[in-house]
Amino acid sequence: MPPAVAGEEVRRLEQALDVIRTGRVVAVLRGEDGTRLAAAAEVLVESGVRAVEFSLTTPGALEALERYSPGAPARACVGAGTVLSAAQAREAVARGARYLVTPALAPEVVAAGAEMDVPVVCGALSPTEILSAYTAGAAIVKVFPASLGGPGYLRLLRDPLPRIPLLPTGGIGIEQVPDYLAAGAVAVGMGGALLGDAALGGDLAELGRRARRLVSLLGEAGAAA
């Protein structure tokens, strides 16, 4: 790859963090197969949710990622989730992922991301795991599953670990999002409460309605801040 192209690729990949931080939400796309993931991603991005994560637990997710990424709107930021190995990380990036997400501390994924200049959102729960993930090179640490401790737990984590950007994910309802942001989250990860049955053949119009409600709440939270 010519140096100019390589430099442009690095710049494009690094923009993923800006989208996550400014948009303050990552939508987790998961289904029984990958056939509906792209359609759900299109609705979400059109509704204002710019960061979409194709979960590798979905059969066909990589193929769906590869189909969606080339024609995705410039404002979209497409990533791969539930990445558990360096091999998966490399394949996901080859298929179009601009960021990687793990459910747990996964040093080899963080290392692979660093090699490719792709940010990794690494999952952790306890203070020890969170610090370990960040020290290993995670760009953002995903607090998972967030619903175990709620916004109160996140607020407690911020006291001793104020410089680590935290992204709570797992069991968060749409109406709870402002509470997590007020507790110090840099962004939130939204799965079932946002996606509903859209990836299973459900109503995409309802997905759009939920996404617009979420974006409205994010705007209100920003104004309050």
* Cβ pair 12, 175 in contact under 8 A: no
Catalytic residues: 53, 142
Short-list 119, 106, 126, CA closest to 78 = 119
| Spatial separation of the C-alpha atoms in residues 188 and 136, rounded to whole Å | 21
For residue 168, the cross-strand partners are: 143
DSSP string, the chain: --HHHHHHHHHHHHHHHHHHHHH-EEEEE--SSGGGHHHHHHHHHHTT--EEEEETTSTTHHHHHHHHGGGS-TT-EEEEES--SHHHHHHHHHTT-SSEE-SS--HHHHHHHHHHT--EEEEE-SHHHHHHHHHHT-SEEEETTGGGTHHHHHHHHHTT-TTS-EEEBSS--GGGHHHHHHTT-S-EEE-HHHHTTGGGT--HHHHHHHHHHHHHHHHHHHHH-
